[in-house]
Structure 1
Amino acid sequence: MRSRIISGRLGSVAQATLLALACAAPLSAHAIFSDDEARRAILELRQRLDQATEQRRGEQTRNTEQIEQLRRSLLDLNNQLEQTRSELARLRGENEQLARTLAELQRGQTDLKAGLDERMRQFEPQRAVVDGKDIQVRPDEKRDYEAALELFRKGDFPAAADAFAAFQRRYPGSGYNEAVLYWMGNALYGKRDYREAMTAFRSLVTASPQHLRAPEALLSIAMCQIELKDRTGARRTLDELIKAHPQSEAAAEAKERRAALR
């Protein structure tokens, strides 16, 4: 009986073992199939990962190239900006220099214009009245005439005679011509140069017989002739004066002088 019990137990164990093996067999086959799919999935995943990595590397390379290109462009632009700043600074300096030069030229032009205006004023004719006659004279001409006349008024007859002679040489055809001849004749008379005085007075009478000073010039000629002991010549000159300017004060004096010469 005991052997039957043992035998029965052994049979049960065997059955359990066989059942376990039967169950284990399909599990093992299923486990092997899942590993292959997993490997394929891993491989595909790795391929996709490699592709993504390669793509990322390509993008990074392109990005790096673009960044490098942008960097070079920025450097070029920065260099251009620096060159532009330098050029602007140079142009600004040139403009400032040109502005200073222009200002100096304008000041010089203003000074030059003022100087020219002043010089022109020295040569612009001015109105003057001499012996009742309106004339146009230059400022320097008027100045020299008045300076010579001032010498005569001071009694410096030699200097006055020289000044009037110099005036004639410097201003030929001057509106002062008759007045210069008259006063030069008087200056020469004052220094007792009677012959030269007669020449000056006769020049006045010849140039302008109706001049305001002509009667006095004729009387002065007669006075010079008297000083030179030319009584005949003096009488002729006095007769000329009385005939040419009978109503003048000089003619009245000439009559007295002529009566004294008889």
Structure 2
Amino acid sequence: MQQSKCFSFLHNSTAALAAVVFVSLSFVSPSSFAFLEDGEARRAILDLRTQLSASQKAQVELQGLLDELNQETAKLRGRSEVLEKQVEELTAQQKTFYQDLNERMRKFEPQEIEIEGVQGKVQPGEKEAYDAALKAFQDGNLKKADTGFQAFVKKYPNSPYWPLAQFWLGNSEYAQKDYKSAIATLQSMVKRYPLHGRVPDALLTLANSQIEAGQKPAGKKTLENLIAKHPDAEAADLAKQALKRLK
């Protein structure tokens, strides 16, 4: 009897609990399920935030590397520009050095030049010797000029300066009243270079030397030759005046 009561009590209690659970579940709202879904979403968002934070960190690190690379590139570019400038400066210095060297070497090598229509090679020291003798003549130091020009024409017989040196030597000798030497010197110059620009003046000095030396017929013939071959030269006008004085 008592067991039967206990069983009945347990059966009734179980039924009551089931009813309570059923009633409780029946009162659970859809928002409760949404709350569960929101939790999962939050976890997903947190996961995404974590991933995004890691990605942003990686981007920052990558940007830092890029900045470092840009800085290094700028440094290398700067060094490259400095090196290029140094190379340009060295190239310019080398060019100047070789130009100077060539100029110095030319002083020790013959140079092909043209002097008043006469072409030829000028030896080292040749021009300096001619200039020194000419300066002595211009300064009125006729003996020094005479010595300088005589030495020049002997040492440099093939020089393009030779006809000029011979011309000034003849004038120097005439100025010193060495008419015989002047005649020989000027005749040699005219014979060797008949088309030289100094020939008209050389003929005039030659004629004066001949007249002063007592060779008037020869001087007159030289004057006539000057007028005939060089009628437009200034020396030809002077030759005409000299001829009038000889008559």
Range of TM-score over shorter length: 0.5 to 0.7
2:225 is equivalent to residue 240 of structure 1:
yes
What does residue 198 of structure 1 align with? 183
Does the Cα contact within 8 Å between 2:114 and 2:160 map onto a contact in 1? Answer: no
Residue 199 of structure 1: SS of its match in structure 2? Answer: helix
CA distance in structure 2 between the aligned counterparts of 1:128 and 1:190, rounded to whole angstroms: 31
- More displaced stretch, 224-233 vs 162-171: 224-233
> CA offsets per residue over residues 205-253 of structure 1, 9 Å max, x none?
1011111000111100111112123221211110111111111111111
How many residues are treated as equivalent by the alignment? 150
Match of 1:144 among 105, 120, 129: 129
1:219-238 correspondence runs (5 A): 219-238=204-223
Match for 2:172: what amino acid? A
1:174 and 2:159 correspond: yes
In structure 2, the residue matched to 1:261 is 246
Query: Could you give the per-residue CA deviations for residues 11-30 of structure 1, whole angstroms, max 9, x where no partner exists?
Result: xxxxxxxxxxxxxxxxxxxx
**1:250 partnered with 2:235:** yes
Task: State the 1:138 CA deviation.
Answer: 2.9
2:146 equivalent to 1:161: yes
Match of 2:48 in 1: none
Distance 1:257 1:231 in 2: 11
Percentage of identical aligned residues: 41
Q: Report the 3-state secondary structure (helix = DSSP H, G, I; strand = E; otherwise coil) of the residue aligned with 1:123.
A: coil
Amino acid at match of 2:145: A
Give 5+ residue unaligned stretches, structure 2.
Answer: 1-100
Corresponding position of 1:75: none
Amino acid in structure 2 at the alignment position of 1:148: A
What is the correspondence of 1:5-154 to structure 2 with a 5 Å cutoff? 120-126=105-111, 130-131=115-116, 133=118, 136-154=121-139
CA distance in 2, matches of 1:138, 1:218: 29
C-alpha change, 1:117 and 1:248, in structure 2 (3 Å) is closer
User: TM-score, structure 2 length as denominator?
Assistant: 0.55
Per-residue deviation, 1:134: 5.6
Distance in 2 between residues matched to 1:238 and 1:230, nearest whole Å: 12
Deviations 1:50-99 (CA, angstroms, capped at 9, x unpaired): xxxxxxxxxxxxxxxxxxxxxxxxxxxxxxxxxxxxxxxxxxxxxxxxxx
Q: Structure 1: give runs of 5+ residues left out of the alignment.
A: 1-115
**How far apart are the structure 2 equivalents of 1:136 and 1:187?**
26
Matched residues in 1 for 2:155 and 2:119: separation?
Answer: 21
Q: Aligned partner of 2:211: which letter?
A: I
Structure 1 counterpart of 2:165, which letter?
Answer: V
1:141 Cα deviation from its structure 2 partner: 0.5
Distance in 2 between the 1:162 and 1:236 partners? 30
* Residue identity opposite 1:156 in structure 2: N
Distance in 2 (CA, whole Å) between partners of 1:145 and 1:208 is 18
Contact 2:116 2:197 in 1 (8 A): yes
Distance 1:245 1:146 in 2: 28
Aligned to 2:192: 207
CA displacement at 1:130 relative to structure 2: 3.3
Whether the 8 Å contact between 2:133 and 2:148 is mirrored in structure 1 is: yes
| Paired amino acid for 1:200 | T
Amino acid at match of 1:137: V
Secondary structure of 1:247's partner? Answer: coil
